[in-house]
Amino acid sequence: DIQMTQSPSSLSASVGDRVTITCRASQGISSYLIWYQQKPGKAPKVLIYAASALQSGVPSRFSGSGSGTHFTLTIDSLQSEDFATYFCQQSYSLPRTFGQGTKVEV
């Protein structure tokens, strides 16, 4: 199974900051990478797919990059509604696997 490792596990930031989260795959997954955002008590929501494609309705301050084994999610000018937990997930092979999550907090 492919292991996904995110870093950091949590980070403190302020409104207006630029935030970068990293996800590494244990083997190459091309661009088969998805980023989700989850807020407390809510289901996860797709932010980015195919490593860099912005899901419809997601603000343009979110961006993704990477290919192979190294990926990043960047939030430019963090807004109050962005404080949440972010997960990466590989969609390259079954079983699908998630990273352990990165909590973005004040």
- The residues that touch other proteins, with contacts defined as CB under 8 A, are 1, 30-32, 34, 36, 38, 43-44, 46, 49-53, 55, 87, 89, 91-92, 94-101
Q: Which CB, 16 or 95, lies closer to other proteins?
A: 95
Closest distance of CB 6 from other proteins, Å: 9
> Is the CB of 16 or the CB of 40 nearer to other proteins?
40
What tokens were used for 71? 């990926």
Question: In 3D, which of 55, 65, 80, 59 has the Cα closest to residue 21?
Answer: 65
> Whose Cβ is closer to other proteins: residue 26's or residue 77's?
26
Which of residues 52 and 74 has its CB atom nearest to other proteins in the complex?
Answer: 52
Q: How far is the CB of 72 from other proteins (least distance, A)?
A: 17
**Residue 18, phi-psi category: left (phi > 0), alpha (psi -120 to 50), beta (remainder):** beta
Contact 84, 39 (CB under 8 A): yes
Handedness of CA 4, 8, 9, 12 (dihedral sign): negative
Least gap, CB of 21 to other proteins (angstroms): 14
